[in-house]
Amino acid sequence: MAQEDIFKKVVSHCKEYGFVFPSSDIYDGLGAVYDYGQNGVELKNNIKQYWWQYMVLLHENIVGLDSAIFMHPTVWKASGHVDAFNDPLIDNRDSKKRYRADVLIEEQIAKYDEKIEKEVNKARKRFGDAFDEQKYRETSPRVQEEAAKRDTLHKRYQEVMNAPGGIDLEGMKQIILDEGIVCPISGTKNWTDVRQFNLMFKTEMGAAAEGASTIYLRPETAQGIFVNYLNVQKTGRMKIPFGIAQIGKAFRNEIVARQFIFRMREFEQMEMQFFVKPGTELQWFDEWRNRRMAWHQALGFGSENYRFHDHDKLAHYANAATDVEFKMPFGFKEVEGIHSRTNFDLSQHAKYSGKKIEYFDPDENISYTPYVIETSIGVDRMFLSVICHSYDEEQLPDGQTRTVLHLPAALAPVKLAVFPLTKKDGLPEKAREIIDELKFHFNCKYEEKDQIGKRYRRQDAIGTPFCVTVDNQTLEDNTVTLRFRDTMEQQRVNISELRGIIEDKVSITSLLKNLK
Ligand code: ATP
């Protein structure tokens, strides 16, 4: 199935099975805002748990925080967001569609990369085992030609993004014209100039008569951590290196909101700021790069689906930055950013607040402003990567197709579904008895409607890893049929064995153990 078709199916599956609904659905939705339904909220909570437990439980020197969404307006002046949290936008006059100019150029670079990969793949097929990939890349005239175009474009892009007075907007437009980039809707090159657009949402606090002040909905959770650095360090008696982790909502007035929950205007972040001694930050950057990749890969989706993308343009605060990208149906895309933020944020807050924000190192008897390594991951993007990877339409030997979510059991919304074979003879009561015992340990669901086959399909569609059927034999010997989602294998087991078989496999700990 084509990748775009898979993506469309995932989106409608999410709605049909109570994972994700458009916000205010009965009013036809609100652009790039979504609600999580009965199954979505469970999956989302499990993802958050997996992150929180890894960060806060497994790291003795990382503690949590839950800071408010509203913050003093000066925070955003100090952080640079009021002046510089902009995206360069460009409109196509014919289609009236708006684009991010940097994204149009990055997509063009990716097109050259794709052409190169296509050539290499063709040659690989042609030469078979004798294929020397490196030599081919170095000598093939077609690869060389595309690589030269790519490198020239890449260099120009870096120059405009890192221009001394801020992004060179005219230079960006010129690249778009020179590369002949067209609007995918109108197919024309009738572009406006490139303009900067601030992504923060504004609102007012207090009644206007009392002198209301403009405040912002936070565009990242990180600043809540920075302004609490002293509070946490002092009250927690934290010694450097240490980290503060937080999960919470963030808001960005995105210019182009596409691709479902990939780019939302209200979304959720899981951020951790790790405070280190100046001069050690690049070692810590590498360390967190590795740890975060290991966390992603412990889900078992295959290392070929992940890659790092080092940034061409470093944010004004960073001295190193990389993204963890995941292979979505629409290509490799950023799921998490890892940034070495220097001491920029703490120094800025010290300057604007007039407070001394430093760390006194008792061993070396010196004070300094700590440097920071940030790991920042979007819950919703993580959710999307998990659900896209897990979605499958399987052809069964009897010719039927089953739609199944091969979710990691620890992330699945429901862990065990219990079915009475019929609605009589005391089978429903027996099924309820099983649930009443197991519901304290993991999420169980009772289902008695329709034939067993249909009930299995409904559970497959939401990724339930285990189903149990209670039949008349159960009443005699306390055994049930246990059915496994991925293999569809069925086993007869005693009710007393169920907890032992299931609990370990569905716990977040089972994922964390992969990280050892
Ligand atoms: P992008 O380049 O895609 O706009 P970003 O580099 O601005 O993302 P960061 O500021 O590094 O993103 O934010 C950290 C993480 O927050 C991202 O890796 C992503 O998972 C998530 N995120 C950022 N913006 C959005 C959004 N609009 N919708 C959903 N998740 C988002």
Q: Which atom of ligand 1 is nearest to the CA of 378?
A: 20
Residue list, ligand 1 pocket, CB within 6 Å: 220, 252, 254, 263-264, 267, 269, 334-337, 376-378, 380-381
Ligand 1 geometric centre to CA of 15 (Å): 23
Here the contacts of 180-185 (C-beta below 8 Å, separation 24 or greater) are 181/104, 181/105, 181/108, 183/92, 183/94, 183/95, 183/97, 183/99, 185/92, 185/95, 185/97
Count CB-CB contacts under 10 A for residue 30.
14
Look at residue 258 in the predicted model and tell me its pLDDT: 75
Look at residue 89 in the predicted model and tell me its pLDDT: 94
Ligand 1 geometric centre to CA of 33 (Å): 15
**362-418: per-residue pLDDT in tens?**
999 999 999 999 999 999 999 999 999 999 999 999 899 999 999 999 999 999 999
Look at residue 257 in the predicted model and tell me its pLDDT: 74
Q: Residue 135 burial (CB < 10 Å; 0-12/13-18/19+)?
A: exposed
Q: What average pLDDT does the structure give for the chain?
A: 95
Q: Above 80 in pLDDT, residue 207?
A: no
Look at residue 452 in the predicted model and tell me its pLDDT: 96
Ligand 1 geometric centre to CA of 295 (Å): 18
Query: 304 pLDDT band (50/70/90 cuts)?
Result: very high
Ligand 1 geometric centre to CA of 219 (Å): 10
- Select the more confidently predicted residue: 209 or 271: 271
Nearest CA to ligand 1 atom 4: 263
Ligand 1 geometric centre to CA of 378 (Å): 6
Ligand 1 geometric centre to CA of 200 (Å): 13
Q: In angstroms, rounded to a whole number, what is the distance separating the alpha carbons of residues 67 and 222?
A: 10
Look at residue 516 in the predicted model and tell me its pLDDT: 72
pTM confidence score: 0.88
Q: Above 70 in pLDDT, residue 209?
A: no
Q: Above 80 in pLDDT, residue 210?
A: no
Chain-centroid distance, C-alpha 205: 31
Query: 206 pLDDT band (50/70/90 cuts)?
Result: confident
Q: Tell me what the mean pLDDT of segment 48-56 comes to.
A: 98
Q: Residue 351, by phi and psi: left (phi above 0), alpha (psi -120 to 50) or beta?
A: alpha
β-pairing, 359-361 with 213-216? Answer: unpaired
Ligand 1 geometric centre to CA of 29 (Å): 22
Say if residues 140 and 133 touch (Cβ distance below 8 Å): no
Report the residue among 201, 293, 381 best suited for mutation to probe ligand 1: largest number of ligand atoms under 8 A from its CB: 381
Ligand 1 geometric centre to CA of 207 (Å): 33
Nearest CA to ligand 1 atom 25: 263
Look at residue 314 in the predicted model and tell me its pLDDT: 79
The runs of H, that is alpha helices, within 280-343 are 281-297
* Lowest mean pLDDT, pick from 112-121, 406-415, 479-488: 112-121
Nearest CA to ligand 1 atom 2: 334
Q: Above 90 in pLDDT, residue 12?
A: yes
Q: Tell me what the mean pLDDT of segment 141-145 comes to.
A: 93
Q: What single DSSP character describes residue 73?
A: H
Q: Above 90 in pLDDT, residue 502?
A: yes
Nearest CA to ligand 1 atom 20: 378
Write out the DSSP string of 448-483: -SS-HHHHHHHHHHHT--EEEEE-HHHHHH-EEEEE
Say if residues 52 and 247 touch (Cβ distance below 8 Å): yes
Nearest CA to ligand 1 atom 31: 378
Look at residue 70 in the predicted model and tell me its pLDDT: 96
Ligand 1 geometric centre to CA of 487 (Å): 36
Chain-centroid distance, C-alpha 208: 39
Tokens 């794709």 -> residue:
114
Q: In angstroms, rounded to a whole number, what is the distance separating the alpha carbons of residues 11 and 473?
A: 41
- Select the more confidently predicted residue: 515 or 239: 239
**307-341: per-residue pLDDT in tens?**
999 987 777 778 999 999 999 999 999 999 999 99
- Select the more confidently predicted residue: 392 or 128: 392
Q: In angstroms, rounded to a whole number, what is the distance separating the alpha carbons of residues 276 and 373?
A: 8
Report the residue among 334, 338, 340 best suited for mutation to probe ligand 1: largest number of ligand atoms under 8 A from its CB: 334
**424-449: per-residue pLDDT in tens?**
999 999 999 999 999 999 999 999 99
Report the residue among 255, 268, 269 best suited for mutation to probe ligand 1: largest number of ligand atoms under 8 A from its CB: 269
**244-263: per-residue pLDDT in tens?**
999 999 999 998 777 899 99
Report the residue among 376, 379, 380 best suited for mutation to probe ligand 1: largest number of ligand atoms under 8 A from its CB: 376
Write out the DSSP string of 392-446: EEEEPTTS-EEEEE---TTT-S-SEEEEESSS-TTHHHHHHHHHHHHTTTS-EEE
Look at residue 165 in the predicted model and tell me its pLDDT: 80
Q: Which two tokens stand for residue 16?
A: 């049909």
Say if residues 150 and 116 touch (Cβ distance below 8 Å): yes
Q: Tell me what the mean pLDDT of segment 53-75 comes to.
A: 97
In one letter, which amino acid is 7? F
Look at residue 326 in the predicted model and tell me its pLDDT: 98
Q: Which atom of ligand 1 is nearest to the CA of 334?
A: 18
Q: Above 90 in pLDDT, residue 50?
A: yes
Q: In angstroms, rounded to a whole number, what is the distance separating the alpha carbons of residues 290 and 183?
A: 38
